[in-house]
Chain A
């Protein structure tokens, strides 16, 4: 158990819908990262938040957005869902802005878009 929690574990929805994925980082960790794992693209970085502020953006679609709340939990919002958005979405956390040591990964949320 990494100490990072993600809910829900599984999510099945239809095209065009909107979903919210939730992540609680390890106690004391200020940085939260979101990654998408799909069969064709592998593991790709989406976005990083540090202490409530967006710090880095990767290959995140405009239909996707995220935020980090004062209690440091984070939410990833996916809207106008397409079949290609089906993937495993990971949240990871680290203590600092620059994580040379380790990013701790949550168990992931499996999103299936039908």
Chain B
């Protein structure tokens, strides 16, 4: 069964600095998709970034980028120029195989200090 592990329950970053959130996963599939979702205090789940496993190039969305290491089954999220609005829970998620659902990690709570 596929699993997703986020080893950092909490992280803190100074405003305008850079922070990296870690995620590892386990799968025997060769074709799959990885996501980072953000959950602010409003509880809404918001897609931050998406990576297709067959693409070697790391995905980038403005200040958000990923470091995708397929052999190591690692998928970290880098937030550059952190802003107060980035404070939230961040969930790493896996999608692949024949299942229809996302498999989530336990989440990392990110605090941004002014």
* Interface residue? A71 (CB, 8 A): no
**Chain A residues with CB below 8 A from B99, complex form:** 56
Within the complex, the shortest CB–CB distance from B63 to chain A, in Å, comes to: 19
Contact B43 A45 (CB under 8 A): no
Stretch from B22-30, B71-79, B80-88, B104-112 at the A interface: B104-112
* Interface residue? A52 (CB, 8 A): no
**Chain B residues with CB below 8 A from A33, complex form:** 100-102
Given A42-B105, A105-B44, A107-B44, CB of A56 within 8 Å of CB of B100: yes
Task: Give the B interface residue count (CB, 8 A).
Answer: 22
Contact B44 A99 (CB under 8 A): no
One digit per residue, 1 when the CB lies within 8 angstroms of any chain B CB and 0 when it does not, for chain A 22-58 equals: 0000000001010100000011110010100001101
Contact B44 A97 (CB under 8 A): no
One digit per residue, 1 when the CB lies within 8 angstroms of any chain B CB and 0 when it does not, for chain A 91-114 equals: 010000111111101011010000
Most buried by B among A42, A48, A107, A110: A42
**Chain A residues with CB below 8 A from B105, complex form:** 42
Interface of A: prevailing SS: strand
Contact B106 A55 (CB under 8 A): no
Contact A56 B101 (CB under 8 A): yes
In the complex, A73 Cα to B112 Cα: how many Å?
Answer: 38
Contact B104 A43 (CB under 8 A): yes
**Chain A residues with CB below 8 A from B47, complex form:** 102
Contact B50 A97 (CB under 8 A): no
Other A-B pairs, 20, CB within 8 Å; known A2-B44, A56-B100, A102-B50 = A33-B101, A35-B101, A35-B102, A43-B102, A43-B104, A44-B104, A45-B101, A45-B103, A50-B100, A55-B100, A56-B99, A58-B101, A88-B43, A92-B45, A100-B33, A100-B95, A102-B47, A105-B37, A105-B45, A108-B44
